[in-house]
Structure 1
Amino acid sequence: MNRTGSDRHLTGLLALSAVLLTSTAFSAVLADWRWFPPAAMTAVVVSCTGIATRMKRDSWWSAPLQLAALVFMLTALFGGSGFLGLIPTPATFAELAHLLGDAIEVVRTGIPPVPAETAISCLICLGIGVVTLLVDRIAVTGRAPAVAGLVLLCVFAVPASLADRMLPWWTFLGSAAGFTAMLSAGSGFRLTADSRWSSVRRFSEPVAVTSVACVVALLTGTVFTGVGTQGRLPGSDPDQAAPDTGEIGLRPFTSLRGQLDRDEPVELFRIEGLPRETYLRAMTLSRFDPERGWRLGSLPEGIPARERLPLPPGTKQRSSSPTHRVEIEPVGYRDAWLPVFGVPRRVLGIGDAWRYDPASGMIFTRRTDDTDSYTELAAFPDPSREKLRASSGDSPVDQVYLETSGAGERVRELARRITANAENRFDRAVALNDYFTDPANGFTYDLSTAPASSHDALEDFLFRGKRGYCEQFASAMAVLLREVGIPSRVAVGFTSGRDEGDERVITTEDAHAWVEAHFPGHGWITFDPTPLREGRGSVPPYLAPSRQREEGERSSAPTGEPTTPSATPDSDEEKQDTSRTASEEPGHSGVPVGALLTGGTALLLGTVLTAPAAMRTLRRRRRWSLASSGGIGAAGNAWRELLDESIDRGDVSPPPGETPRRTAERVIESYGVPPEAAEAWHELASAVDRERYGPPGGRETGSRREALHRAVSGLRAVRPLDFRERLLPRSTRVSSTRRRPPARR
């Protein structure tokens, strides 16, 4: 194998390393590392396919084979129905499309970090495979490793734009190290036999420059922007207790599999004015998938959340239900979902971007803004058992809340058997709730689910494992409710936390999922089948025994104390709060988001468009400097710059075996270079020959700046560059030193 082939294979391996090191940035937006082994295998297969095909002289089919290898890997890892496990079939493409669709839904609605489940892993493997193919083609086949850095920059930009915090410093250093190695292979190993010192110098220069740049960037970021902590300017959050507290959001879906990821307890909310213990709802899940659990439905346009909020469908107005004023301070919470208690009637102190969907009961925004303190005017309906038993008729809700596609016959039979003695809708719901909370039925609350024994997670939980946490219990009961004709959904949020003086404090330990069932005239009613530990749950009065219910009614009656004030939506207090201008509200920003997005997009496009010209300018300045300084390599650098000038004007690289003298004659004849410039071309060609083939002690080391200036000026005079050629120099895509005659030693 010749030197050129070895260099290309080395560049290919270093390009693979650069892709893998850059991909570690995704660890900032994913909750675990399950995605990395399949992504690494995919990248290795695609890269090695390119290396193997380039061993043949005619390797035009390298890219198609690499693309085929990517498809085979996706089939083997995620297809499940491929022929011989590798060759995709129409069913395989349908499965992959389904997985990618699920992944896009997670990307659209998920709040990092999200778990690296199968769908997300499939999307990352596809992306990393395509990136590996592009970087390999640009850095190796196109011999432009610097341009390949733009592709790596795009990979790094994806998690950087999704993560709420700055990316870990080690991912930045790893990406920079990978790019430096690839860049060095593309420039430091394609050298003539100028000297050992020249090779070492050219190889070490990009390493040294990149190392210094990385250190300076990290130090600057640490000092001025807090890189690696909150990812924000120091002092912008004075209430932040510790740099590692961070801000936590909710994942917009639950799963019947997996384990609850628990960090050290982090304070999320401080609540004032809550009339009784009840749940803080952030979102509701309406769509059930037997393989992936409950998912968020499609978000509607919604109505402005700052206005008076309508009642949910199927809920009657009750003048006897007071509206309580609840102050909510998100201490360590940031998300696209605004948690609320009870039935929200109005929310004060939020920005214009927040929307409200009465059907789902969710307040959301399509951009993740900082959530400042806000005030909720909420009703807390407390229907009696008798009123709920008397509820009848069809529920005016979407049929999606009754959908049970995919649930097995055993699940239906279980729901019917549990509710066989119930005479009305409410008693059926209570029977299902008691089925999970009664210890005699064998269900156990545990942070780990039982090992899966089949592909149906719902049946695993109901009939075999019977062990799990809130998501398993709530998911199972919601399905059973639908099986007996009761509309249901899974709610995700928090329990009411603990008392701390006049406030209630909610932490990450209070994250919870429960069930809401719809009763005509009363709306969505809470049921919690999870046997929570340490009394963290909240038993609604209509589910408590009669004696406890009487005590609850006495304790929740209006007392006139200032900690539980009530008001109607038209109270003077509300009018005073809503009279504030938009600039005074905590959620309002003085900088238009549209302007930021437009400016950022324009900056990114401008950077991409001007990158080739910037690289050409840097290369030109470096060569002119080396040619002017004299010493070993001055003639070689001047000659390479002269060749790039001709390539920028449409010339081709010197073919194999063509001497510098013959190249000079060809260019002079092709462009009609003036005599003075032609003389400079011949002078530089002779100097290059002497530098390459002359005896070590007799090589010339004088400055070549004047000869280079005359040669380039003559070329520019007869063939000036147009705007497109200046913006996208051809020499950044075609190497002027693609093939060199072997150096004589």
Structure 2
Amino acid sequence: MVVNRLGGAAEGSAARGSAAQSVAVAAAVLLSSTAFSAIFADASWFLPALIMVAAITAIGAVTRSAGWRSPLIALTQLVAIAVLMVTLFSGQAVLGVLPGPASIGEVLGMLGQAGEVVRTGVPPVPADPPLQALLALGLGLVTVFVDVLAVSAGAPAVAGLVLLCLYALPASLADLMLPWWAFAAGAAGFAGLLVVGGRHPTPAGSPESGRSTLRQHAVAIGAATTALALFTGAAFTGVGTDGSLPGSRDSSSEATDGMGIRPFTSLRGQLDRDRVVELFRVTGLPQEAYLRAMTLRRFDPERGWDLEGLTQGVGADGRLPAPNGSPLPAGRELEVTIEPLGYRDPWLPIYGVPLDVSGMGEDWRYDPAAGIIFTQQRQPSRPYTERFLLPDPPATQLRSNQPAPEVDPAYLDTSGITPDVADLARRITTDEATEFDKAVALNRLFTDPANGFRYELETAPPTSADGVADFLFRGKRGYCEQFASAMAVLLRAVGIPSRVAVGFTAGTDQGETRTITTDDAHAWVEAHLPGVGWTTFDPTPLDDGRTALPNYLDRELNPTVEPQPMPGETVPPGEQPPGQAQENPRDESGVPPPGPGASGGSGWWPALAALVLALATLGAPLGFRELRRRRRVRASAEGSASAAWSEVLDQSWDRGTTSSATETARAVAGRLIHDHELDSDGAHALRGLVTAVEQHWYGHPEAARRNDSDLGDLLGKVLASFERNDPLSWRERLLPRSVLRPSGTTG
């Protein structure tokens, strides 16, 4: 009887533990799913997700309490996902809840529509039913995985890797836009999973009872400390996912008098277009070109770009001097007449490289370095004539290997550019050989739709005091000033002199004249290239036809294959541009491709997606471990002793051997040689590695640097000895223990 009572108590405790673990699983998945708030414009996705996750975990708890085996529990949960999908998202379910051909087809159609939105949409997107269905399906499958790992297999720590996958999709779509509280919520959910998962009921008074309680307390304290540290770091230091301070202040910009444009670009706010006013009428312009009013060379991380260093220049009457430090590029010499209408400003807009200007009156000055004509006296605007060079250099000149020209160092000033912004610029241009190719790559970052940037008259709400980082990594929407400001910063980050040009697009063609209005106000970028001088780039992804790309830039951003249209020829709406022919020869039969909701051929991809998710989840620890190993091997070859030592410790950890933080590196090495039975080559290499590590940590820097070249070879020999004498089992390779602990050094 006593035994039976103890057995019943144990069973009841186990049942309660299983229920608590199921609740912890549901909480962990739902809290981690808050990362999706970064890609949705509303929260309507959460209710179906809540129903799906709660139902799956409830089924797991009930079936376990009934004594079902783990494979049957998982199969039942998968069937429940199918039932819930047709119940929540189809109006044609049999008896309202059972899947049938019509309901399955409807749900598959919705998933197809969701796939199209994922492919073409730019976050944040409305959480429409198709996306709700896709997310509910994904969270349901994730819940099954986490439930199996954390409850059935008793490995809640490994389940954390599956939870981490929930951040992969929104992070890839929103690109570093994830809010700090989404990570804090996920950390809290994972901590709860660890706490509950560490509770294993044991008979009272048994020798294991005290140790079990101690383990519970240790896990709880560690999890609570981690969650508290995350919350404290995020809430009180204000550090978000990008390392910036959330809670920024708006920066205002001062407008000039009359209908002139602003003297500097603001990285936030709205472009004021209360009414459209005609500003100029241009005669004699045979092709589209930008009309430049001013250039801005000083970057202020809080205000954007503004004027600085404008000189008295020279009188603007007669022939004008060439730009400072710049040769005259190849191009077309033109002459136009510009009639100001509603324009009142101290800046005289000009085209290209001005050769001479006349008719505007007296007291106008020209600054060759800035490429600006201005006046210091208020005077009426008069029609004026400009003769100028419209640059169109050939590719050979643009990619010239001439020495870098002398240019004012102010155009290379990187003050205020944060490390993450500079790193982005370097990553984008790392494979480009010339400065022109680097500039084109940075321009393409903004104009390629795949990168998620879009033109809007309202910028995204600020999340930090750094407007450029806000725009590049989180907001990704704004108007021309944001795009020009960001690209100019990126150019300077890779050593290319840059400035922001402010003026107007080509305006509207009226036959013999062009009319430019306030709607044509624009900002673009000018980069100083060897052998060419100041060269125009435009990163703003306008879709209304107002972009006036120079021919050399249009050729790079919009490459075509034969047959090519003549210069200036446009492709009629509805026709495919050259180079984008249909890839599927069956499309020529006239049979339209099936739409997103068509059932034919679309029913396989959800199963494939689930399979890919399962394989990715299974291989995530192995992939992460391999990436870490390669990074450390590369770092050790470059002289990082700490990276080499961390890799040795993880190799030992993967094989089940731990080390204490109180041990010296030499003591740890001796024990590793013994525990893993390293051969003489491996033992000798490990001792040499320890010597290098000690010199790096405690010795003179010069002595440490003398051994840097040997670190890569020493680490390679140690790893080879590990593999020869103590190879990993398939389970140790698939689930390496070292990925479940932070990397570090010991000694």
State the TM-score, normalized to the length of structure 1.
0.41
